């Protein structure tokens, strides 16, 4: 399966950040590359990134196609702005905005309806892992938030590894990806996310059932993101 290296810029980036695309250069044929900038940059980034074979995505969407939802953005609007993917259920949204599994599934279904590829995020907290509940938590999130069909991507992002500079052991990542694979099928890409950087990308991406990475902090600098793409 062709790996997907996705950058999640989160709430970072102004117009000047579009220069990072030029610095990245063309995506290699061996892997798909995606950047999910803040919504304000999607329309400007999409054509610039497409010239390099790099896709653009949103970081969230509302379940409805339009309506009285001040401040929200629909999947159709992301598509219209040039997005091809949309992240849904990121742990920062689950935590900051109290998003439930049911809402995440509705957002994923909205992405599919609009012709986007949803990236559905799952992952346990540190306390849940310490209690031995990691698989039960992730299993519940998969059960509750995956849409039907197979036009989506799953991102396993242990909450405690995000922005933390530490990752699970390679064995723990492989075990969780195998667990997720058993609950999906061979056509679904399963990304790992959480402190992926140039120094650990190669060994993580070489694990079975790791079909790419969802990269936060290290996607903001072209040099680091390029090194992760090269590792894939
Ligand atoms: P970091 O790579 O900064 O740990 O963030 C991971 C993430 O949350 C990507 O969605």
118 vs 108: CA distance, rounded Å: 5
Q: Is the dihedral of CA 12, 121, 203, 135 positive or negative?
A: positive
Instruction: State what percent of residues in the chain have pLDDT above 90.
Output: 100
Record the pTM.
0.98
**b/e 169-179 (16+ beta carbons within 10 angstroms → b):** eeeebbbbbeb
For 37-55, write each residue's pLDDT tens digit: 999 999 999 999 999 999 9
For 162-220, write each residue's pLDDT tens digit: 999 999 999 999 999 999 999 999 999 999 999 999 999 999 999 999 999 999 999 99
CB atoms within 10 A of CB 193: 26
Q: Find out whether the beta carbon of 162 lies less than 6 Å from any atom of ligand 1.
A: yes
223 vs 144: CA distance, rounded Å: 37
Atom of ligand 1 nearest to the CA of 121: 10
What's the CA-to-centroid distance between 163 and ligand 1, angstroms?
6
Average pLDDT over residues 109-127: 98
CA angle 225, 174, 219 (to 5 degrees): 10
CA within 13 Å, CB half, 58:
31
> Across the chain, what does the average pLDDT equal?
97
Instruction: Report the residue count for the chain.
Output: 232
Q: Find out whether the beta carbon of 53 lies less than 6 Å from any atom of ligand 1.
A: no
| Domain with residues 4-11+31-227, CATH architecture | Alpha-Beta Barrel (3.20)
**pLDDT class of 105 with cuts at 50, 70, 90:** very high
Q: Find out whether the beta carbon of 147 lies less than 6 Å from any atom of ligand 1.
A: no
218 vs 195: CA distance, rounded Å: 8
**pLDDT class of 27 with cuts at 50, 70, 90:** very high
Atom of ligand 1 nearest to the CA of 197: 2
Element (H, E) at 35: strand 32-36
């Amino acid at each position: 399966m062709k790996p997907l290296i996705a950058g999640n810029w989160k709430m970072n980036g102004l117009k000047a950040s579009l220069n990072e695309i030029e610095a990245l250069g063309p995506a290699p044929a061996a892997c798909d590359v995606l950047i999910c900038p803040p919504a304000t940059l999607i329309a400007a980034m999409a054509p610039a990134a497409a010239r390099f074979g790099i896709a653009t995505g949103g970081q969230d969407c509302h379940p409805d196609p339009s309506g009285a939802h001040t401040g929200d953005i629909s999947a159709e609007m992301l598509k219209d702005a040039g997005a091809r993917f949309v992240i849904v259920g990121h742990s920062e949204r689950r935590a900051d905005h109290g998003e439930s599994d049911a809402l995440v599934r509705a957002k994923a279904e909205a992405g599919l309806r609009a012709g986007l590829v949803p990236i559905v995020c799952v992952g346990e907290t540190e306390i849940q892992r310490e209690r031995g509940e990691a698989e039960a938590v992730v299993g519940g999130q998969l059960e509750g938030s995956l849409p039907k069909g197979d036009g989506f991507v799953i991102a396993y992002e242990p909450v405690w590894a995000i922005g933390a500079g530490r990752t699970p052991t390679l064995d723990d990542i492989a075990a969780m990806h195998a667990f997720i694979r058993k609950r999906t099928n061979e056509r679904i890409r399963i990304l790992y996310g959480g402190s992926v950087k140039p120094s650990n990308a190669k060994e993580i991406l070489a694990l079975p059932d790791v079909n790419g990475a969802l990269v936060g902090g290290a996607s903001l600098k072209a040099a680091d993101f390029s090194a992760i793409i090269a590792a894939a």
